[in-house]
Amino acid sequence: MSGYGIHDVPTLKLEESSISMLEKSDSTQGLLMSEAVIQVTENDDIIGPISKLDSHYGIGKYHRAFSVFLFDTSGRLLIQKRASHKITFPDVWANSCCSHPLHSEDEMESHNNLGVKRAAVRKLEQELGIHPSQVPIDKFEFITKMRYQARQDEEWIEREVDHCLIIHADVDLNPNENEVSEVKWVSQKELAYMLGSNKSEAVIAPWFRCIAARIMDDDWWRPGCAKSDSVIHDMGDVSYMLPNAIGADLNTSISEVRELVENRIERALTHTSLERLSGAMMHLVEGGGKRLRATLPWLVAKAVGNTHAGLLDVGAAIEIIHNFTLVHDDIMDDDDIRRGRPAVHIAYDLPTAINAGDAMLAIAFEAMVVAEGIKAEQLPFLIKRIGRMVRKCSEGQQLDIEFEDREVVTEDQYIEMIHGKTAAMFLTCAEVGAHLAGANHEIIQCMHDWGLALGLCFQLMDDIIDVLSDSETLGKPCGSDVAQGKRTMMVIHALNQPTSKSKENLLQVLGKGEDVSKEHVLLAHKALHDLGSIDYAKSKAEAYHRKAHDCLDRLPDSPAIRALRELTDYQLNRIH
């Protein structure tokens, strides 16, 4: 598999839409997008072949990569500037050679890391014109692996388990202009200047900056001195290291890590040998959901600091707790439908549903304690905040239950209730995400305030959507809140209005449960509109919406802010 021709390497057929998308790209680089690279798990276990395009486009997929650090005998490191023809990360300075082993028997061989070494020899020749005889495989040293993702723009992303290789050799260079626009030999001091000086105009590839800043040490510059390990260093999302990076939208940002979080949830909830208990715990999870809470710690961390896999473990734990509250809420509210399917106590039975909820709470805390990347000294903060969240949720639920029997519920009491029942989870996700990202106290408090405002807006809008949407949209009977006697902001406002026909229509439905017809529910909803109660609740939601954006305005600029702003707008956009 030597040479430049695509016919020399294993490829996968691209979809017609992908071929059309690449028409504006350099033709040679476009052809290379059909190369069959190696899709892997987070832990570098091989899944199978994937095209270079599919591993980099949209949300991308984790795939195996390598980074070569080539030193000459005088102790200088070869670095290259990627050509402007490159589809991903053009015109940035990177290490000597960085690319992918291909999905072939030769380049997947794990013994002595021969697969990635063979790929390195192939690409050193293809990109830099270095003859294989000058870089024999036995002269390569495998040092370590790192896992990272870095988004270039809305379309292209790197998500790699990168194998770091060192070789000390004197070589002859004949760079391929389609791949490399410039090469340079740098001393250790010169590299440090490029990486650290504000005066340097060089744009550094995120993976190169990660390796140089967090893994590379003085021993790499001395032949035979570098120490190897079997660790996969978790770098998280390092998009912010690229000065001109463009952040993804909310759906893409969630999708990037959704599967990783769901794998963690499934692994935790199916660990028991009791199939019925496991099935009951998984029932709502399998029903889908946006996974807003599950991915929120990661999304916040991306915007304010460093990310790592532990944030996904914490997100999974919080999602498990969220689903635990839904299981018990459906029992307490006597709701038979959740997410368009039977509630757990209907699909299984009442005792199993209660037991499953209890087990889910315990499992969530177990998952956090063993989460990857979370230091022992961080656990007290984490457990205290998550414990507080569960307590606040229970307090909010209790107030919600009691409100149904109260003649008078004030707006302040309603806000206290939804603070616990809904907002506590959002503010905890945001606060914990910022803390685990290493943010300072001011930023952590800012994200706490953002999460609180977001959660209050979210619940106010959720109440409104229950009135404005149909059953198919909601995944539960429309108008169930009014029929159950829920004291929402709209109902509280309506009850404070003078006696009228509209108010009487509302009172005929409020709290009557299944004894009211669909027609009467629609009259009650019209009453909320006629009394100005829907508009009043909207104005309250919009005030919290503004507060949330004000919090985001206080954050340093980052590619990840875009997703947080779209999340802030999410519920309001649902009714427009």
Which phi and psi (to 5°) does residue 397 adopt? Answer: -65, -40
Using one digit for the tens of pLDDT, what is the confidence trace for 44-91? 999 999 999 999 999 999 999 999 999 999 999 999 999 999 999 999
Q: Do 342 and 327 touch, CB atoms closer than 8 A?
A: no
Tell me if 6-241 shares its fold with 250-574. Answer: no
Q: Does domain 6-241 fall into CATH 3.90.79.10?
A: yes
Overall size of the chain counted in residues: 576
Whether the predicted pLDDT of 470 surpasses 80: no
Cβ-contact 280, 348 below 8 angstroms:
yes
- Asked if 122 and 2 count as a contact pair (C-beta separation under 8 A), the reply is yes
257-277 core/surface letters (b: 16 or more CB in 10 A; e: else): bbebbbebbbebbeeeeeeeb
Residue 561 Cα to chain centre, angstroms: 13
pLDDT over threshold 60, residue 479: no
Positive or negative torsion for Cα 545, 309, 442, 380: positive
Instruction: Give the bridge partners for 80, in sequence order.
Output: 94, 183
Q: What is the pLDDT of residues 119-146, one digit of tens each?
A: 999 999 999 999 999 999 999 999 999 9
Q: CATH fold of 250-574, please?
A: Farnesyl Diphosphate Synthase (1.10.600)
pLDDT at 421 over 50: yes
Structural element, H or E, at residue 38: strand 36-40
Lowest-confidence region among 12-16, 478-482, 497-501, 544-548: 478-482
CA dist., res. 131 & res. 128, Å (int): 9
pLDDT, residue 473, reads 45
Distance CA 298, CA 295 (A): 5
pLDDT digits (tens, 9 = 90+) for 238-286: 999 999 899 999 999 999 999 999 999 999 999 999 999 999 999 999 9
Rounded Cα distance between 97 and 180, Å, is 10
Distance (Å, rounded) from C-alpha 214 to C-alpha 233? Answer: 9
Q: Residue 1 pLDDT > 50, yes or no?
A: no
Spell 440-467 as b/e; 16+ CB within 10 A means b.
Answer: eeebbebbbbbbbbbbbbbbbbbbbbbb
Question: Contact, 88 vs 158, CB < 8 A?
Answer: yes
**In 52-177, where do the E strands start and end?**
63-71, 77-82, 93-94, 97-99, 141-151, 157-168
Q: Tell me what pLDDT residue 319 has.
A: 96
The Cα-based distances of 1 to 98, 109, 126, 171 in angstroms read 17, 15, 10, 21
pLDDT at 472 over 60: no
For residue range 212-226, list pLDDT tens digits in order.
999 999 999 999 999
The helix (run of H) or strand (run of E) holding residue 48 is strand 46-51
pLDDT band at 475 (very low <50, low <70, confident <90, very high): very low
pLDDT given at position 490 = 96
Give yes or no for residue 325 having a pLDDT over 90. Answer: yes
Amino acid at 66: F
**In the chain, % of residues over pLDDT 70:** 96
Residues 6+ apart with CB under 8 A from 528: 467, 482, 490, 491, 494, 506, 534
| Burial of 315 per CB tally in 10 Å (0-12, 13-18, 19+) | buried
Looking at the chain, the whole-number percentage of residues with pLDDT higher than 90 is 83
Enter the pTM of the model: 0.92
Closest CA to 533 of 481, 497, 486: 497
Domain ranges of the chain: 6-241, 250-574
Q: What is the mean pLDDT of residues 25-35?
A: 92
As a whole number, the mean pLDDT across the chain is 93
Which amino acid appears at position 401 of this protein?
Answer: I
**Strand, helix or coil at 395?**
helix
Q: How confident is the model at residue 573 (pLDDT cuts 50, 70, 90)?
A: confident
Contact 521, 509 (CB under 8 A): yes
* Rg, Å, the chain Cα set: 28
* 8 Å CB contact between 134 and 70: no
Q: How far is CA 348 from CA 116, 173, 175, 403, in A?
A: 50, 68, 65, 29
